[in-house]
Structure 1
């Protein structure tokens, strides 16, 4: 899936970069996509972070309900608040 041709981009004064459209399309990067920046001995690596949907997160919480004293409604409210603050 990786391209053999390197792409060049420039870091702005705010530390931002533009990922070339060819690579955005290839890797499914849309506005709001979260990327993890990982330092390695070879340089920086960008890794797409796939967050679970709210429904999937709720299922995961329900599976661990015995380990927490928070209700599902409280967890749902916190998830919605966290997602709203990221935008």
Structure 2
């Protein structure tokens, strides 16, 4: 598995960055352009046996999320009690 993981990595032009005292890093501009990383882009940090992996995650805008909820609202029948139960389960019994 490690060989497969490393095969997907390019070491032709490695980039070096530094972690600041606040735990921040700067992703080199070449890589930001290559992967479409703009201000506000969300990245998931995944710890692995080989180090950290950054994964871009595409979250819908508030407007898009509201639109999706409205589209699905008519397809699911839940009572307020059902919604309360689902919220309670999602939060865990200790809250």
Structure showing greater radius of gyration is 2
Q: What is the Cα-based RMSD across aligned positions, in Å?
A: 2.3
Deviation per residue, 1:30-79 (Å, 9 max, x gap): 11111110111111000111111333212321243235568xxxxxxxxx
Q: Which moved more, 1:36-45 or 1:50-59?
A: 50-59
SS at match of 2:47: strand
Unaligned runs of 5+ in 1: 71-87
Partner of 1:82: none
> How many aligned residue pairs are there?
69
Partner of 1:23: 31
- Bigger RCO (CA 8 Å, 6+ sep): 1
Could you tell me which of 43, 48, 51 is aligned with 1:35? 43
SS at match of 1:64: helix
Q: 2-side partners of 1:55 and 1:69: how far apart? A: 25
